[in-house]
Amino acid sequence: MASRRALVLLAVVASLCRAAVGQRAKPLLPGGPSCSTADNYTDGSPYKKNLDELLAGLPAAAGGNGWFYNGTAGAPGTADQVFGLIMCYADRNATQCRECLAGAPAGITTACPGSRNVRAAYDACVLRYSPPPSFFSTADLAVNFQVRAIAFAVDPDKMLNAWLTLMTDLTGRAASSPSRVANATTPYDGDPAMLVYGLAQCTRDLNATECTRCLVSMVGQLRRRFTNETGGAIKAFSCYVRYELGAFDITLPPEPPQPPPPPSSPQPGGSSSSSRTALAVGLSVGSAALLVILGSLICLSLRRRRRKRQQERERQLEEGSFFDGDDPAMEDDFEKGTGPKRFRYGELAIATDNFSDEKKLGEGGFGSVYRGRLKEMKLDVAIKRVSKGSKQGRKEYASEVRIISRLRHRNLVQLIGWCHGGGELLLVYELMPNGSLDTHLYGRSNAAVLPWPVRQEIVLGLGSALLYLHQEWEQCVLHRDIKPSNVMLDASFAAKLGDFGLARLVDHGRGSHTTVLAGTMGYMDPECMITGKTNAESDVYSLGVVLLEIACGRRPLVVIAEHEDDTMHLTQWVWDWYGRGRILDAADERLQGEFNGKEMECVMVVGLWCTHPDRSLRPTIRQAVNALRFEAPLPSLPSRMPVATFMPQVGTFTTSSAATGGTSSTVTSSVATGVGSSTGTSSVATGVSSSSILTASSTETSSLLK
């Protein structure tokens, strides 16, 4: 009887609270609600009565439940049942929350009159209702609106790395929290005085899986929409994400009450039995703790041993000793790869008619490439056969299998499989019907000219590939040999970057320098030839040269018409036209003016930006891609090409390059002061001054490159 009186009293109090809230509530109208227009309800209908009942109870119900409530009104299973949900955002204070909890239900029927299915996000809360079926427990991934900071980051890459790492961590923490909300901070660029604040929040009807799905989607939206901002927020109808360089208020709702632990049952036997029980529990806990410690030590030891073994293999790979015979360690490393399969030599010999000359597509510095047909897979492929006596070729074979086999991107050549044993090293790629880009830019004189729309798509595809390699994969991949002969074209002329023989992996956020100089003359960062160090900026330089080639239809070394014995680098030649305000005059003459002027200028200016003599003034690949996509403004470059500012370093470096599948360029390397031969032999002088590598003087430039 007493409990019944308590329930009645509680109902009366709740009713009075709802009435008081309703009297004080100021109706709020959402900025852009989603209101259904089909099968609307009418005044006085059962659905309207149920909706009014639900909306009237939401403020008090949410206020007493940690600023969140979801419930129903009406007979279960009927068409007039109403499902409703309301939640406050955790970055709003208690006053703002109470006003939204009261005002949103009071004004929503004015914003969406007659609508049976409504989704509305306000400044401080989100409100939803609908007829059956229930939307509870299923994440709604529609973006309602976004808010961006008005300030831009000085270093977009560091800002992106900071907030993306933070939001990724908060996604897991929010999903595992009973209140489905988490917030934290992280230092920006390692400076504890500059903190990036983050918040991730889901509606509490979602389980951990659905909450994670929603947050991951919204963090992805943040990354796509906010490439250079110091803060941003996206509100969906099921979750909310926000980051900002600087503090913002967060008022976390109280954790939902946890059920009390079950009462302990008295054990027969009195205190002696209790002591024995306590002793048993203590021994069990101690044993478990000891096992955990021992297990941790064993795992740590194995991890250190594995890391040491990996470092030794990488050292052997650099020295070229990794393939001296059939190495069991290599077998184990390759067999763990996912995707590409291991072929038997006999399968590939049959596919190429025993590697007949009729099947040969081309010959590179370290082997030949053949066309093959894998009958069981009903697939045409290109098969690279590494020269048996080529030590560099064996290094590049290992690099290809260990790196490209783990990469997945539409603008990268796909590695189908591999084969080694008995002295043979074979790589199997998807066949590129249209060969390499250089054959279309500098092919036969009577060949069809590559039209500008196709070139523009090639430019965007190549930029997308390098963006994936540098910033979007789990590690940063330095390609180190970007050039037209390594850009393959599929049946629809989509660009696919290939030949990862010189590629190296470096960790994000660490110095991305490699100490072995590699690449092809004309495409190599001039600073690399002085310092012997390559990094992401070196790849950006090579990309810039290729962009200029695509736009101008000229090789990296340009013959000066007035002095046919003199040459200058393509960058200098285009920069001269840029300085005169006539950059479009540098466009490929074979196009006969049939191109989009804005796109052509964009490609050439970004090409100059990427080949800027000062490495620190070059764009990141993300900045370059944003400019190519017209998502960011073009830079303002000086009218004359700046003089390189890096200092020479005495020493000797050797360059090397490998031919890509389907090409026929032969490249070797030597350390000398001679000039390259027509077969593609490259030479690097020792102790060369920086001015002879790249300066604003075309005479000095041509003295080295001619």
Bind-site residues:
384
687/213 Cα distance (integer angstroms)? 56
CA atoms within 13 A on the CB side of 579: 12
Q: DSSP string covering 231-297, please? A: EEEEEESSEEEEEEES-----PPPPPPPPPPPPPPPPTTHHHHHHHHHHHHHHHHHHHHHHHHHHHH
Q: Report the chain's C-alpha Rg in angstroms.
A: 33
Structure tokens at 327: 């190495």
**399: how many CB neighbours lie within 10 A of its CB?**
21
b or e along 658-687 (b: 16 or more beta carbons within 10 Å of the residue's beta carbon)? bbbbbbbbbbbbeeeeeebeeebbbbbbee
- Residues annotated in the binding site for ATP, as ranges? 384
The answer to whether the beta carbons of residues 159 and 245 sit under 8 Å apart is yes
How far CA 13 is from CA of 9, 18, 60, 70, 388, in Å, comes to 6, 9, 10, 20, 89
Determine contact, residues 323/397, Cβ cutoff 8 Å.
Answer: yes
Buried b (16+ CB within 10 A) or exposed e, 610-642: bbbbebeebbbbbbbbbbbeeebebbebeeebe
* Tokens read off for 368: 């030949």
Q: Which residues contact 310 (CB under 8 A, 6 or more apart)?
A: none
Which DSSP letter does residue 205 get? T
Burial bucket for residue 199 (CB in 10 Å: 0-12, 13-18, 19+) = buried
Name the residues annotated as catalytic: 481
Beta bridge partners of residue 683, listed in sequence order: 670
For residue 343, what are the CA distances in angstroms to 346, 376, 405, 408, 417? Answer: 8, 12, 14, 20, 7
Instruction: Name the residue type at position 563.
Output: H
Cα angle, residue 535 at apex, residues 533 and 536 outer, rounded to 5° = 160
552: tokens are 């101008």
Angle between helices 2-24 and 94-111 (to 10 degrees): 70
Indicate the Cα dihedral angle 271, 275, 276, 280, nearest 10°.
150
